[in-house]
Amino acid sequence: MALTASRTASKGHSLAPHLAALALGLTALMLGTPTQAQQTIKIATEGTYPPWTFSNPQGGVQGFEVDVANESCKRLNLTCELVIQDFPGFIPGLLAGKFDVVLSALSVTEERKKIVDFTRPYARIDVSFVVPNDSPLTKLPGKGERYHLDTEPEVAKRAIDAILPHLKGVTLGTQTGSVSAKFVAAYLKDSVGRVNEYKSTRDQDIDLSNGRTDIVVGSIVALTKSLSTPPLQGFGFTGPSFGGGVVGTGYGAAFRKSDTELRESFDRVLGDMISDGTIRKISDRWIGIDVTP
């Protein structure tokens, strides 16, 4: 099912009339029973976070997660509508009933799992650092190394401690509400001069290019995309990357805790897409590296 995009970031709607029918339709689908009509659900995405979701020349959105959402809806025989929503409003909007699913670079973390339920991760992700190529911060220790905050916490902490003296007095940028911001809050904020948080990575990139921030922390995949286009040509990665812990286990689709059947259906087809290589093919199309969990 091709997704259509709408912008309904502030106005809610009642889900009660269609949730019962949706549950019946999903039950019939899992039992192999034909349904009379496809049910419609709303999927929230940011639309400003390439290569995951971003605008296309026709005024819609495209990207890795749009393809994942399209394929999931096709396999579930659902009619799906994209709702464009700023990142900080994902979980509040989901809980308020503005949409039924969040499928937009939302990391699975223990903190978020207390509020919403996730599918299995459909993409793995780490965070790292980007600076101008002429910055002294290009010499951050551990460049190119990868550390896991859960499986090797002491080693990861030593790597972070090695970075901190180099960040004294710098202005650091990250996206508000993201796991990158949580990583900064947990490990870096007390050692830098200032933390600037941005609603979108586009604003973050512009401030880095203009010198209003000295270094940014973000998703490796999103930063790789940013480095390939203006305004971040002439910039590059520095220091190590980190996964696990506050960064999470990967990106998953989020649901209200009451929508168990809908979540389980998406979880099943995402598992199939991982197993049959569909996620790898979508990765190759939009990212250029395989982010299959």
pLDDT for the residue numbered 185: 97
Please tell me the number of Cα atoms within 13 Å of 179 on its side-chain side: 27
Averaged over 3-11, what is the pLDDT? 49
Token duo for residue 54: 């971003």
pLDDT for the residue numbered 2: 53
Residue 119 · residue 263 · CB < 8 Å: yes
One-letter amino acid for residue 126 of the chain? D
Token duo for residue 150: 């859960």
Averaged over 125-142, what is the pLDDT? 96
Residue 10: pLDDT band with limits 50, 70, 90: very low
Token duo for residue 185: 């809050």
Token duo for residue 284: 């190759």
pLDDT for the residue numbered 6: 55
Instruction: Assign domain 4-123+250-286 one CATH number from 3.40.50.20, 3.40.190.10, 3.30.930.10, 3.40.50.970.
Output: 3.40.190.10
Query: Is the pLDDT score of 4 beyond 60?
Result: no
Q: For the chain, what are the domain ranges?
A: 4-123+250-286, 127-247
Query: Is the pLDDT score of 124 beyond 50?
Result: yes
Residue 231, preceding bond cis, omega within 30 degrees? yes
What separation in angstroms does the CA of 36 have from each of 33, 102, 186? 10, 26, 51
pLDDT for the residue numbered 229: 84
Averaged over 251-263, what is the pLDDT? 97
Residue 115 vs residue 33, higher pLDDT: 115
Residue 290: pLDDT band with limits 50, 70, 90: confident
pLDDT for the residue numbered 59: 87
DSSP string, 233-254: TTEEEEEEEEESGGG-SSB--E
**Which H or E run includes 70?**
helix 64-76
Residue 41: pLDDT band with limits 50, 70, 90: very high
Q: Do domains 4-123+250-286 and 127-247 have the same CATH topology?
A: yes
pLDDT over 70 percentage in the chain:
87
**Partners of 54 in beta bridges:** 48, 62
Q: Which residues have CB under 8 Å from 273's CB, separation 6+?
A: 68, 71, 72, 75, 122, 279
**What is 127-247's CATH number?**
3.40.190.10
Residue 25 vs residue 68, higher pLDDT: 68
Q: What's the pLDDT tens digit per position in 184-236?
A: 999 999 999 999 999 888 899 999 999 999 999 999 888 988 898 889 989 99
φ, ψ (nearest 5 deg) of residue 141 = -60, 150
Averaged over 240-266, what is the pLDDT? 95
Q: At what angle do helices 260-275 and 16-30 cross, to 10 degrees?
A: 40
pLDDT for the residue numbered 54: 92
Tell me if the pTM is above 0.85.
no
Task: Tell me the C-alpha distance between 141 and 2, whole Å.
Answer: 46
